[in-house]
Amino acid sequence: MSILVLADLHEGQLAGATAHVVAAAQAIGGDIDVLVAGDGVQAAAEAAAKLDGVSKVRVADNTVYAHQLAEPIGALLVELADGYTHVLASASTTGKNVLPRLAALKDVSQLSDVLGVESADTFLRPIYAGNAIATVKSDDTLKVITIRTTGFDAVGSSGSATIEAVDVVVENSQSSFVKEELAKSDRPELGGAKVVISGGRGMGNGDNFKLLDGIADKLGAAIGASRAAVDAGFVPNDMQVGQTGKIVAPDLYIAVGISGAIQHLAGMKDSKVIVAINKDDEAPIFQVADYGLVGDLFEILPELESKL
């Protein structure tokens, strides 16, 4: 078996997701290469070379690969995929954007959001927003797979893989980058944070989300939100946790003023410990919470912050 992992980049640096995808590759078994494609990505390549279990890092460093546009990265993967039995990427917006192109051009299916490996050809993946788990077997000669990172613990970074430049340069005249508006934050990224504190409609307005800041600072937590809070315009959509937002599985998830709609639970129910703070003691969130605290969040949050 020979596996190619497409590295995830965040502002040119190696994103945490890649260490989880390499762990999934280890569960499949075989030689693991990592492809780092972008513009000015030597540092990311060096970080990828340290991931445990990686034999070789292949670096495609060219302006055509800037911003991970689907057309050039897809074409690059098509050029490089021969000789591999599996091509993996995280189920990030980049992996989801690019990998189906490779699958289609190689005339194979893609398995999306894989969260468990049974064998080199049989995998577990969520369907119906995680309300059912399917076991699927692929008889395609090339298996193209996106990985749900919460399903695999990240590998360590004490490795020393070789780094090799890829000189394949593809043409792209169809798509071009215009602009990017990324939320700036000193907090950990939602997808990879050990602790997540999320607010829902119960927060009342966007300003009140500041009540979560102090707690997040003390716990080193990322801040999330329910779809209801996003739809109400309290916070931007990239903070959304749920079926239609980010899927998270931190060690500790604190849901504040969130009722617990199925769509929210789909995004956080695999967290190790769930705490719910809500004034309605009938709220469905309490059915999944390990620890529930019924009360007024506007009194509880300041008290929690001062006592942590």
Partner 1 sequence: MKVLVAVKRVIDYNVKIRVKADHSDVDLTNVKMAMNPFCEIAVEEAVRLKEKGVATEVIAVSVGPKAAQEQLRTALALGADRAIHIETDERAESLAVAKLLAKVVEEEQPGLVVLGKQAIDTDNNQTGQMLAALTGLPQGTFASEVAVDGDKVNVTREIDGGLQTIALTLPAIVTTDLRLNEPRYAKLPDIMKAKKKPLDVKTPADYGVEVASKVSLLKVESPAERKGGVKVASVDELIDKLKNEAKVL
Q: Which of residues 102-161 bind partner 1 (CB under 8 A)?
A: 102-105, 107-113, 122, 126-140
**Binds partner 1 by CB under 8 A, chosen from 1, 43, 165, 183:** 183
CB-nearer residue toward partner 1: 40 or 236: 236
CB-nearer residue toward partner 1: 161 or 297: 297
Place of tokens 């077997």: 137
**Binds partner 1 by CB under 8 A, chosen from 79, 164, 281, 296:** 281
Which residues are bridge partners to 13 per DSSP? Answer: 10
| Spatial distance between the Cα atoms of 221 and 227, rounded to a whole number of angstroms | 19
Q: State the binding string over 211-250 for partner 1 (x if CB under 8 A, else -).
A: --------x----------------xxx-----x-x----
Phi, psi (deg, nearest 5) at residue 75 = -65, -40
Q: How far is CA 305 from CA 17, 113, 122, 128, in A?
A: 30, 36, 46, 37
| Spatial distance between the Cα atoms of 175 and 178, rounded to a whole number of angstroms | 10
What's 188's DSSP letter?
A: P
CB-nearer residue toward partner 1: 159 or 284: 284
**Binds partner 1 by CB under 8 A, chosen from 195, 197, 225, 283:** 195
Half-sphere exposure of 92 (CA within 13 A, CB side): 23
Pick the piece of the chain touching partner 1 (CB under 8 A) from 42-50, 51-59, 203-211, 289-297. Answer: 289-297
**Binds partner 1 by CB under 8 A, chosen from 98, 114, 241, 256:** 98
Contact (CB, 8 A) for 238 and 276? no
Give least dist CB 234 to partner 1, A: 14
Edge-to-edge order in the sheet of strand 162-165: 110-114, 143-147, 86-90, 2-6, 31-38, 56-61, 162-165
| Spatial distance between the Cα atoms of 254 and 119, rounded to a whole number of angstroms | 35
Answer yes or no whether residue 262 interacts with partner 1 by CB under 8 A: yes
CB-nearer residue toward partner 1: 1 or 183: 183
Binding positions for partner 1, 47-66, rule CB under 8 A = none
Instruction: Name the nearest CA neighbour of 251 among 207, 220, 214.
Output: 220
Number of residues that bind partner 1 (CB under 8 A): 85
**Binds partner 1 by CB under 8 A, chosen from 22, 53, 64, 67:** 67
